[in-house]
Amino acid sequence: MWLNRLKWRRILLLAGVCLLIIVPVTAQPSAPSAAVLVDEASGVRYTVERFISANFPVGMVFTADGRLFYNEKMTGNVRVVAPDGTLQREPVISVAVDGAVERGLLGIALDPAYDENGVIWIVYTAVGTATAWPTNVIARFVEEDGVGRDLEILYDLPIETGQLIHNGGNIRFDDEGRLYWSVGDYNEPAHSQDLTTPQGAIHRFDVIDGELRPAAGNPFPDSSIYAYGFRNPFDIALDPVSGQVWTTENGPACDDQLNIALAGFNYGWGPDYACSGYDMIAGLRDYMPPVLNLTQSIGISGLAFYDHDAIPEWQNDLFFCDWSWGLLRRVEIDDSRSRVLDVHEMALGGEIDCRLTLAVSPDGALYFGTVGGGDGAIYRLQVVDESG
């Protein structure tokens, strides 16, 4: 169904170009208004509308002027959209990716000094060769006027298991300019309990003289590992109030979780893992239980804090999507920022799904990506203006 819509959209676009050539432009009827939806718990009224069609949009990030950069998982393209929804025809940059299964172009973040240097960071799976494994890398490039250049790889982690799943992973900067990276266990549970291997962990780096180095104050000597014991932390988000790192976790057939990643703590995944929920795991050193545990695995995916005052009722709440059902949920957190008070399922209207990634725009709209039915898209959720 989505594929047919995309075909028709292209046909109509071509027809429109022809009309512009042969007849004067006249006003077109406005599109039907999006249905007004209600978050019953907060009373907030909002709409959800399709922003743009997009090819497997996994990572998204906004600039201060309202431009949206996003990744195409399968193609390796980083694309940019103007605030009015105009998609730049050519990608900002394109990298050669192995997009098989859970590999691909996954994470994206603006450099803390982006407004001055134009640097954008990405995480992707570089293509393997006859003599080298496919490799997940952290890279950066310079963007100027929608064009990327000077791609530079700063960290690489070969997929020596040969597995296609549990790559993580996203990147985020904190207020002190430290880079956090979430990476899965490469489908080898033993990695997650082994501090000599980087897999199955949240990493923290300092960026010094163009290099990534283990951040000063990390819990383990000469290691970038910040917290460990993860199976597949697909996304991470920094709490705008506490500064703490929240992570998603994809369990086996149970225990999908939200965790607060604290320095030096162990989050439990490893060989012979038994579904434990909120219970402590006997004999596991420095174990930290989740702040939210879901008995049924739903494939928690995108994660974002609503750090804007456009919707005061939601300010500093946490939102997440899930791969399995395509639902969007809002999480209320207590004043200590360490305990979940409630989780609310958000109505999206029609056949709209939230399966991939989330981002908040400078004007306070919540954007989310999805894929399915032969098409992909980015949607915009925004509050209804009740002022007039």
Q: Which two tokens stand for residue 140?
A: 């950066």
Domain extent for 279: 43-383
On whether residue 32 sits in a domain, the answer given is no
On whether residue 12 sits in a domain, the answer given is no
CATH number of the domain where residue 201 is located: 2.120.10.30
Cα→Cα distances 61→70, 91, 171, Å: 6, 15, 11
| Secondary structure (3-state) at 258 | strand
Q: From first to last of the 388 residues of the chain, give the pLDDT tens digit.
A: 333 333 333 333 333 433 233 233 333 344 457 899 999 999 999 999 999 999 999 999 999 999 999 999 999 999 999 999 999 999 999 999 999 999 999 999 999 999 999 999 999 999 999 999 999 999 999 999 999 999 999 999 999 999 999 999 999 999 999 999 999 999 999 999 999 999 999 999 999 999 999 999 999 999 999 999 999 999 999 999 999 999 999 999 999 999 999 999 999 999 999 999 999 999 999 999 999 999 999 999 999 999 999 999 999 999 999 999 999 999 999 999 999 999 999 999 988 999 999 999 999 999 999 998 657 999 999 999 876 5
On whether residue 34 sits in a domain, the answer given is no
On whether residue 166 sits in a domain, the answer given is yes
CA 316, 317, 319: angle at the middle one, nearest 5? Answer: 130
| Secondary structure (3-state) at 364 | coil
Among the listed residues 103, 92, 48, 53, the one whose alpha carbon sits nearest the alpha carbon of residue 69: 92
Say how far apart CA 336 and CA 339 lie, in whole Å: 7
On whether residue 146 sits in a domain, the answer given is yes
On whether residue 21 sits in a domain, the answer given is no
On whether residue 1 sits in a domain, the answer given is no
Domain count, the chain: 1
Among the listed residues 337, 248, 339, the one whose alpha carbon sits nearest the alpha carbon of residue 294: 248
On whether residue 13 sits in a domain, the answer given is no
